[in-house]
Structure formats: structure tokens, C-alpha cells
């Protein structure tokens, strides 16, 4: 029996968008075939909705009501607006790699004087050069996830970064996604970072907008390959415009004795979803993943993490904090899978939410799936309001109510932010949190 899936209006609009855009997307031959296969996989699944357990709280069929056209290549005016926005987000000492409206902007980026062992090229170049092995890796993420498949079909540009065996980068790499605000549009980007054996690097991702940028859509994916004995420190800061839509995915694979430390903070976008699949492919590896949602108004932010322990003697730690005001909605879903061969796994997860209004909402769903018997695993979740006795204590010593609240909120999110190893990046995250607190009024 043949079963035909009825398309939603959004689904039909995405099909039309792909048909219009496919001729301007980079890559031909096998690349074009892989794009087509990815889009067919997306069409079979359709936009995720609340009947899919992993998308129960973030129904894209309801939340993504409009499909914007693919963003045009930025002109001089768009680059000027992006340059102005970039000034507020420069990280001293970092190597800037800037994407404006989903297209690499060499004039705003810093690619000269590369460190030894570091190679950088654009996704567009990688898709057009005919490097079959690299192209296969760029399309490697599983098409069973609809948004990753859609990103694979529509990806326009991004970065391909390779760090050679034994190379330890002295400067952080800073990928900056900027929406110029020229027209309401959608951006599809994908980046790949490969760390060789015993290599080390720090990667920062920022999502920002220029003045005047309102309704726009970000569809991003990041593929990380961390070699044996390598270490990657990763920081994500989502400060998109308040009318933006951001769906981002990460696919991470760790070799043996590798170390992955990652921190993410979301304080921008109207609707956002960050999902990461982290796979342990070698023994003795460690993952530390920490995150913070700072939400108000009607913001909706979803962080979904899948930790796949497939080999023995690995460690994972997850700490997540959410601060939600007004009618904001925070979602955290963390799933730890311990497969039969993953004996001696040590995995722990803790999520806490702080609600600042009666209409704020936080959904926390930690999960353990354990198929091995010699493991140490645990999880916990808690939701509550600010401690009134602590507020009274601070106010009794002369602090205004908002300042007292700010101090308690900073302490609440501090445990997650302290996980950032680099002092400058830790200060950057604290500054982003401070901007959110000040905007509360």
C-alpha cells in the first residue's frame, strides 16, 4: 500500500523555496544528488511537531508559520550594517570568521597569518572543489532528523576548519553569524571543524543582528570531529534579534581520550532550538556541557542534548540553568544513552529553572537509557522562584529590588558560566547575561 503524506502549507512553501534556490546553491554532480536526497528525506518526515516525542515542546508546524526566501548575497550596504553590529561583539585576540546573511564575508574576517597546523576554507569552496571524502563528511549527519536534512539540502555557506595532529591553537576561532536586516530572509549555514590527534582549539559561535533586522530565520548546523587525545572548548552565544527564528544542530564525534567542554547561552530570538548529538567513539573521553537560557517576553528556547555512550570508561557532565520572566518558555531535554558495551560509564545531569513570573514556563525532561550494568549515572531537575528570604536579606541592606534580584540571578547561572575555561570568554558570557538583566528594567 502506498501512503502519501499530506503537506502542510509550510511544507509546500519549503518545497517551492528549494526548487527556486537549488540552481544558486554551491556544488554539482554528487553534491547536487546529496542535496536532493536530503530534501527528499526532509519531505518524508516533514516539519517536526508535538507528536514526535523529541519535539513535544517545540512544534515547528505551529511555531514556524512563515517560510522566508533564501537570503540574497549581501551587498555593500548589508556588509556596512554587519560591520557596525560586529563592533559590539569583537573578542580580543580571537580570529574572526564572519558570515553575513549566510555568506562568508572575507572583508570582515581574519584569515591571513594563519597559525601553523590550521587550515580554513569556506563551505562553498569545499562543495565546489570535488574533494569527495570531505563532501561526504559534510553530508554525514543522519537524515532521519528533519531539520538536519533540510539544512543539508539548503546549506549555502559556512566554514571548513581543520587543525592538524598535535597543533594547539593559541587564538580562539570566532564564527559570527550576522543578519544584516536588508530583507526578511532565511539563512542556511553549515560548518565543519576537524581536530587531529592531540590537537587543541577554542571555538566561539555568536548569532547577532544588525540594527533594523527583524523577522529572519537562521538554520545552522555544526559538524565536529575531535581526534584521539584532542581537546575542544566551545562557546555558543545566541543574541539574535527578538523577532528571529533560530534552529541550530551540532553533531559531535569524540575519539579516544578526547575532551569536549561546551557552553551555550540563549538570550535572543523569538523562537530557538539547539540540539546536539554527542557520540563517544573512543574510550576514556570526557564531555562537559553547560547551558543557560535567559528569557522574557514571549520567547521560546529549547535546548535538547543527546549523549551517546557507546564505549567503556567515558565521563559526561551536564549542567543547565534557565531564568524565565514574563510569558517566556524554556525547554531542556537531556537524554543519556548507555549502550551495552559502555561499561564503567560515569554520567550525570542536572537542570534547574528559575521562574520570575506566574506566567513563565519551564519544561525540563532529563532521561536515562541504560543497557549496561556497571555504570554510575544520575539526573535531577528542579523548578522554583527566587528565595524570598534572600531577597529580604539583600533589600534590608539597602539594595533596590531589581539589583537584589540581579545578584541572585547571577549567582544562579554562575555555576554554568564558570565552566568556561578561557577568562576572556567567561567574561563575555557574563557580559551577555548582564545585558539581559539590565534590559529587564
Q: Which residue has the cell 532550538?
A: 273
CA 274 to chain CA centroid, nearest Å? 5
Dist. CA 351–CA 412, nearest whole Å: 12
What is the pTM assigned to this prediction? 0.94
Contact 68, 215 (CB under 8 A): yes
Please, which residues bridge with residue 70 across strands?
186
Summarised one tens digit per residue, pLDDT across range 77-96 is 999 999 999 998 889 899 99
Contact 220, 250 (CB under 8 A): no
Q: Is 352 helix (H, G, I), strand (E, B) or coil?
A: strand
Dist. CA 412–CA 408, nearest whole Å: 6
Contact 175, 99 (CB under 8 A): yes
Dist. CA 314–CA 430, nearest whole Å: 30
- For residue 114, name the pLDDT band (cuts at 50, 70, 90): confident
C-alpha cell at 413: 547561572
Summarised one tens digit per residue, pLDDT across range 323-337 is 999 999 999 999 999
Residue 299: name the closest of 264, 325, 274 by CA.
Answer: 325
Average confidence score pLDDT of the chain: 92
Predicted confidence (pLDDT) at residue 368 exceeds the cutoff of 80: yes
Summarised one tens digit per residue, pLDDT across range 396-419 is 888 888 888 888 998 999 888 988
Summarised one tens digit per residue, pLDDT across range 267-311 is 999 999 999 999 999 999 999 999 999 999 999 999 999 999 999
Question: What is the gyration radius of the CA atoms in the chain, in angstroms?
Answer: 21
DSSP 438: H
Summarised one tens digit per residue, pLDDT across range 162-207 is 999 999 999 999 999 999 987 899 999 999 999 999 999 999 999 9
Dist. CA 326–CA 139, nearest whole Å: 40
C-alpha cell at 293: 537560557
Amino acid at each position: 500500500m502506498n501512503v502519501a503524506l499530506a503537506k502542510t502549507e509550510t511544507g509546500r512553501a519549503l518545497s517551492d523555496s528549494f526548487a527556486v534556490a537549488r540552481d544558486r546553491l554551491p556544488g554539482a554532480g554528487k553534491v547536487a544528488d546529496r542535496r536532493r536526497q536530503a530534501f527528499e528525506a526532509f519531505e518524508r518526515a516533514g516539519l517536526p511537531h508535538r507528536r514526535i516525542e523529541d519535539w513535544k515542546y517545540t512544534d515547528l508546524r505551529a511555531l514556524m508559520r512563515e517560510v522566508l526566501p533564501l537570503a540574497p548575497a549581501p551587498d555593500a550596504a548589508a556588509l556596512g550594517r554587519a560591520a557596525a553590529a560586529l563592533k559590539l561583539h569583537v573578542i580580543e585576540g580571537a580570529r574572526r570568521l564572519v558570515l553575513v546573511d549566510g555568506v562568508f564575508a572575507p572583508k570582515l574576517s581574519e584569515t591571513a597569518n594563519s597559525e601553523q597546523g590550521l587550515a580554513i576554507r569556506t563551505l562553498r569552496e569545499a562543495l565546489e572543489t570535488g574533494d569527495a571524502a570531505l563532501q561526504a563528511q559534510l553530508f554525514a549527519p543522519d537524515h532521519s532528523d528533519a531539520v538536519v536534512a533540510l539544512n543539508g539540502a539548503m546549506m549555502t555557506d559556512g566554514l571548513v576548519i581543520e587543525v592538524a595532529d598535535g597543533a594547539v591553537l593559541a587564538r580562539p576561532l570566532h564564527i559570527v553569524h550576522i543578519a544584516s536586516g536588508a530583507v526578511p530572509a532565511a539563512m542556511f549555514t553549515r560548518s565543519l571543524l576537524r581536530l587531529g590527534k592531540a590537537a587543541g582549539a577554542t571555538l566561539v559561535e555568536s548569532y547577532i543582528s544588525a540594527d533594523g533586522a527583524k523577522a529572519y530565520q537562521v538554520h545552522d548546523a555544526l559538524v565536529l570531529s575531535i581526534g584521539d587525545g584532542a581537546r575542544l572548548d566551545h562557546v555558543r552565544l545566541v543574541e539574535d534579534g527578538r523577532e528571529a527564528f533560530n534552529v541550530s544542530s551540532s553533531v559531535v564525534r569524540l575519539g579516544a581520550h578526547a575532551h569536549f567542554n561546551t557552553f551555550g547561552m540563549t538570550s535572543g530570538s523569538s523562537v530557538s532550538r539547539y540540539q546536539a548529538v554527542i557520540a563517544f567513539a573512543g574510550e576514556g573521553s570526557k564531555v562537559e556541557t553547560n547551558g543557560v537560557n535567559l528569557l522574557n517576553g514571549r520567547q521560546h528556547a529549547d535546548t535538547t542534548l543527546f549523549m551517546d555512550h557507546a564505549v567503556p570508561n567515558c565521563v559526561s557532565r551536564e549542567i543547565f540553568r534557565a531564568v524565565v520572566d514574563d510569558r517566556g518558555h524554556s525547554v531542556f531535554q537531556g537524554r543519556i544513552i548507555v549502550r551495552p558495551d559502555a561499561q564503567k560509564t560515569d554520567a550525570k545531569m542536572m537542570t534547574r529553572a528559575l521562574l520570575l513570573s506566574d506566567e513563565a514556563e519551564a519544561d525540563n525532561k532529563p532521561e536515562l537509557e541504560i543497557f549496561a550494568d556497571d555504570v554510575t549515572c544520575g539526573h535531577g531537575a528542579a523548578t522554583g522562584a527566587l528565595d524570598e528570604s534572600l531577597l529580604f536579606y539583600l533589600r534590608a541592606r539597602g539594595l533596590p529590588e531589581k539589583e537584589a534580584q540581579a545578584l541572585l540571578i547571577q549567582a544562579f547561572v554562575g555555576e554554568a558560566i564558570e565552566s568556561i575555561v578561557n577568562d576572556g570568554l567567561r567574561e563575555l558570557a557574563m557580559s551577555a547575561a548582564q545585558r539581559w538583566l539590565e534590559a529587564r528594567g
